[in-house]
Each structure stands twice: as structure tokens, then as C-alpha cells.
Amino acid sequence: MMDKLRSFARWEVVVAICYFLVLLFEIKVVFPFEKLLLAPFPYMASLIFLPHAVRVLGTVIVGPKIFFVLFPTILVSGYFLFDSYAGETSYLLIIDAAIGAGCSPLAYIIVKWANKNKVEFALTLLNWRTVFLIGAIASVLNSVMRVMLLSNLNQLQNTLEAIAKVIIGDMVGLAIGMVILVFLFRLVRRRPI
């Protein structure tokens, strides 16, 4: 029991720090670059949202209890890093953080439940298809809930376009995160300990 608690506490810190740093990189580098390239188009969602990778990979590594790490991390990150919240804690920030933190664990539970009778099924980082499935389900849940919460889109076409942008950004971010993780694992494997 204590080993599991120590392991969770170790991953808790790693996931929280990674999420904050990746979100900071997203805000300071990716967002301005996208705005520069996509200036004539309305800006609703990032087309490369890297923090989604941290949420999904953290969920696959730790399990659904990662919600209790992601929720305060997203809440604090939103409070300090996003100008739209202006340093205020509002019900909108709390709900947004709950949606962001809850979608990956919920997707994890759905995938695990759907595959409960398969002996060969394993939720590990080695099963990249399952990681992408969890990421896709989490992205759909996240995009629908966040677009409905944060936008005042009154036309179906605008709503569907915003949802599609969030899904694309989440999935591209997850793909890039997986590629970076593969390169990091290979780099670590090559170095003698």
C-alpha cells in the first residue's frame, strides 16, 4: 500500500510540473506562432494543444485518480497563466478546470469498461492504440463540454467548427507528445546507468 502511495506521489509531482511547463510553452510559444500564421482566421482553439498529451499520458500512467492532480494544476495554471480569467477565481474557471481534468480519466474508465472481458487488454504506454483511443474519447468529451461552456456560438456550423478545432488540436498535441515520449525513452535507453 505504501509503495503505491509513494509511486502516486512521485508521478503526481511529475505530471503537475509537466502540465504547467507544457501549458506555459503553449501560451508563450505555440499560441503566438499560431496567431501569426492564422491571423486572418478567427481564433477559438489551438491547432496543436500539447497539454492534452500530458493529461492523457498522465492518466494512462497513474489511472483515473490523476484527476486529483490535474484539477488543482489546471485551476492554478488557469488562474496565473490565462489573461481571460484575469487572476480571478470564478465558477467558469472551476468548471473549466474540472472539465479539463475529468475528461481523460472518464475516457480511461470508458475504455477499460468496454474492454473488461478481453484478457490481452492492457492500459499501458506500450499499447499506443489504446492511448490514442483514450485521447480521442477525452478530446471529444473535452471539446463538446468546453465549447458549450466557454463560447456563445449561436449557429450550429460555428459550434461544430469550434468542436472540430478543439478535437484536432488535442489529437495533434497527443501525437506530438507521444513522438516526444518515444524519443525520450530511446535517449534514456541508450545511456548507461
Quote the pLDDT of residue 41: 55
| Amino acid, single-letter form, for residue 45 | A
d(CA 37, CA 43): 11
Domain ranges of the chain: 2-190
Q: pLDDT (tens digit, 9 = 90+) per residue, 111-127?
A: 988 887 675 666 666 67
Q: How many angstroms separate the CA atoms of 58 and 173, rounded?
A: 14
Architecture of domain 2-190: Orthogonal Bundle (1.10)
**pLDDT tens digits, one per residue of 134-188:** 999 999 999 999 888 777 666 777 778 888 888 998 999 999 988 988 787 777 7
> Tens of pLDDT along 41-61?
555 678 889 999 999 999 988
Please tell me whether the overall predicted TM-score, pTM, comes out greater than 0.85 for this model.
no
Give CA–CA dist 142/48, Å, rounded: 15
The cell 508521478 sits on which residue?
11
Q: Write down the mean pLDDT value for the chain.
A: 81
Question: Which has the closest alpha carbon to 55: 145, 137, 160, 111?
Answer: 137
Nearby residues of 31 by Cβ (< 8 Å), 6 or more positions away: 46
Instruction: Give the angle subtended at the CA of 97 by the CAs of 89 and 29, to the nearest 5°.
Output: 95
- The whole-number pLDDT of residue 37 equals 81
**pLDDT at position 126:** 65
Name the residue among 91, 98, 92, 103 with its Cα closest to residue 150: 92
Residue ranges of the alpha helices (H) in 83-127?
Answer: 91-114
* CA neighbor of 68 nearest in space, from 138, 137, 9, 127: 9
| Grid-cell match 484527476, residue found | 67
